[in-house]
Amino acid sequence: MIKYDGNKGELRQALLAVRAGLTSDDVKVAEEALGRRALELPELARARTVAAYVSVGREPGTRALLEALRARGVRVLLPVLLPDNDLDWGLYRGADLLVRASRGLLEPGGERLGPDAVTGADTVLLPGLAVDGRGMRLGRGGGSYDRVLARLERAGATPARVVLLYDDEVVARVPEEPHDHPVHAVVTPGGVRRFG
């Protein structure tokens, strides 16, 4: 079990330390299982537009999932990090059209759709480091996805909010702040858990 003192910073450090110990094979095996599990979700099966992200480093892998969604004819929106940490969006047109960006991220090349483009998504796949039994998600602390979730709420948009994690990143409790929003489901290589 991951040990921490109850604050977000300590929990982030503990989770990132565990991820740092994963091998390339661990990440690849988990990505294949995550992709299969995610594609079985009704929220993705019926989605016409999905806001997703390109995994980097030891994050739970999304690349196979992005390709599978694109092959199904789903319109996939990918984030573009803005200087103020907000997110713009662009269309995913294939791995070969991704460009290197700041902080080691991969972003879609081409036209930008604006920060509000996410409000048209049927499902939003969120990166994270952990989720608890209430559906509270712990991100990396930059606030980009907090802004996305607040934007969805202001617009009255109600896409399914799904976080992709490793099995051991479903924890007993995530420290919560007033701006935090719960997710509807977590997908891990071992299964899917839904939250009320």
Annotation-wise, does 143 bind a ligand?
Answer: yes
Whether 127 is in a domain gets the answer yes
Contact by Cβ (8 Å): 138, 8: yes
Annotation-wise, does 9 bind a ligand?
Answer: yes
Whether 72 is in a domain gets the answer yes
Whether 97 is in a domain gets the answer yes
25-39, 97-111, 182-196, range with the lowest pLDDT:
97-111
- The whole-number pLDDT of residue 2 equals 58
Whether 77 is in a domain gets the answer yes
pLDDT at 52 over 90: yes
Of 52, 45, 44, 30, which is closest to residue 98 (Cα–Cα)? 52
Annotation-wise, does 176 bind a ligand?
Answer: no
Which residues are CB-contacts of 136 (< 8 A; sequence separation ≥ 6)?
Answer: 174, 176, 180, 182
What is the extent of the structural domain holding 167?
A: 8-194
User: What is the model's pTM?
Assistant: 0.91
- The whole-number pLDDT of residue 141 equals 74
Annotation-wise, does 177 bind a ligand?
Answer: no
Total residues belonging to the chain? 196
CATH number of the domain that residue 136 is part of: 3.40.50.10420
pLDDT tens, residue by residue, 92-150: 999 999 999 877 789 999 899 999 999 999 999 999 999 999 999 998 877 899 899 99
Annotation-wise, does 54 bind a ligand?
Answer: yes
pLDDT tens, residue by residue, 153-184: 999 999 999 999 999 999 988 888 877 789 99
Whether 102 is in a domain gets the answer yes
C-alpha–C-alpha distance, residues 123 and 39, integer Å: 12
DSSP code string of 13-43:
HHHHHHHHT--HHHHHHHHHHHHHHHHT-HH
Whether 3 is in a domain gets the answer no
* Share above pLDDT 90 across residues of the chain, in percent, rounded to a whole number: 76
